[in-house]
A = this chain, B = another copy of it.
């Protein structure tokens, strides 16, 4: 019988994360204080992040030990399987071998807990009692509420109101984990109240929810803030996936030719490919393919400049591919990919020519998702469907025997209303507007 799943034993699970910072072609541009335009001092971040994570954010250590209590939580769902997609290969007539790294097996149903449990742990170690965060589609809020419960911490989630109303199931999961979730704008923060005063019916935005969560953390001594993507320490924690893939491919004496992931903030893609950056820089022929929505084409159409991480201009300035912090993508169903920017680490390796980016429309990614489900059985998240679509395209062009690995970042069981819209032909293939992006980029600070 053909082998389908490559399973790593728990005892062989990586015991360290890989930090790509010391191996980058040149040093990463530092985050800047928006007022002084100078590199931001670590202490300035301490109001909202614990020192251990701030250190990880700027660390030049190549390997970071994963603490034992955290490994114990990881083993609730890790190592995750690497799966040969035999039936998908057959359906598309692929001569390449397709594998997927299945991160949907986590309690939250996505790769997000890999960093959520790490962030909860380090905060707990520094005496933090509660974490605050924002969530758009709900994946990150679910992951952080799971993580906080594992370490007996409180958790407050500000969920963009329009998602809160449209996706009630997410709120229920978050509450069942014991966390509290509020639609944003809320009356719990100054910034929330200001918005509500102007517009009591406001549907909110991710930028506003970030502002509420940051204000909550900054104004409560026992509370810190947690972010689910973009930051260096998030990519660091996510490298557990790429490191496992390395071991799993070794088990079957394979080398990857192509690594594929979808990109929003960049954490799942970054986690998969960063452990392969040294190989690539040493000359190994490995392609990194990033799949993004046409509606939010950060890597394919953005500029590599300093910009704010949020719409409300509260964050430090970070150098990244961006469509401009004012860019508001059309309301596509892949909520996790509707971010104007891109993780600095991912942007950096992309700028150095290590990443091929592809942008897709909604209907073609749902076509790919349905094909995956009808061959491999499992229902992917719309975000993940971008990686599937890119994988299918790459496989069709590939040489016989090539090895393609994509990151299956999450399941779509809480995205079924999107599938309904797709099946009923109600999905719009909205792309970006060149003019809007030009305008948004013009509003970025000049450094």
Q: Which A residues contact B (CB, under 8 angstroms)? A: 1-5, 7, 9-11, 68, 71-72, 75-77, 86-87, 105-107, 109, 146, 149-150, 168-169, 172-173, 175-178, 370, 373-374, 376-379, 413-414, 416-417, 419-420, 423
Give me the 4 closest cross-chain CB pairs, A-B, nearest first.
A107-B377, A4-B75, A169-B416, A413-B413
Q: 5 A-B residue contacts at CB 8 Å?
A: A7-B9, A76-B87, A105-B105, A173-B419, A413-B414
Q: Given A146-B377, A374-B149, do A1 and B72 touch, yes or no (CB 8 Å)?
A: yes
Q: Given A4-B10, A11-B1, do A377 and B150 touch, yes or no (CB 8 Å)?
A: yes
CB pair B374 A178 closer than 8 Å: yes
A419 CB contacts on chain B under 8 angstroms: 172-173, 176
A4 CB contacts on chain B under 8 angstroms: 10, 72, 75-76
Q: Given A109-B413, A414-B413, do A75 and B173 touch, yes or no (CB 8 Å)?
A: no
Q: How far is the CA of A1 from the CA of B75 in the complex (A)?
A: 10
CB pair B1 A176 closer than 8 Å: no
Question: 8 additional contacts, CB 8 Å, given A5-B75, A76-B87?
Answer: A1-B72, A1-B75, A72-B86, A107-B378, A150-B377, A176-B370, A177-B373, A177-B374
- Write the nearest CB–CB distance from A382 to chain B, whole angstroms: 12
A414 CB contacts on chain B under 8 angstroms: 413
CB pair A172 B416 closer than 8 Å: yes
Q: How far is the CA of A77 from the CA of B75 in the complex (A)?
A: 19
A175 CB contacts on chain B under 8 angstroms: 423
A10 CB contacts on chain B under 8 angstroms: 1, 3-5
- Write the nearest CB–CB distance from A180 to chain B, whole angstroms: 12
CB pair B379 A173 closer than 8 Å: yes
Q: How far is the CA of A5 from the CA of B81 in the complex (A)?
A: 13
A168 CB contacts on chain B under 8 angstroms: 416, 420
CB pair B1 A68 closer than 8 Å: yes
Q: Which of A168, A173, A178 has the most CB of B within 10 A?
A: A173
Q: Given A1-B68, A1-B72, A420-B168, do A77 and B377 touch, yes or no (CB 8 Å)?
A: yes
- Write the nearest CB–CB distance from A106 to chain B, whole angstroms: 8
CB pair B173 A416 closer than 8 Å: yes
Of all chain B residues, the one with the shortest Cβ separation from A178 is B374
Of all chain B residues, the one with the shortest Cβ separation from A420 is B172
Q: How far is the CA of A5 from the CA of B11 in the complex (A)?
A: 11
Indicate which residue in B1, B7, B76, B416 contacts A376 across the interface (CB closer than 8 Å): B76
A68 CB contacts on chain B under 8 angstroms: 1
Q: How far is the CA of A87 from the CA of B69 in the complex (A)?
A: 12
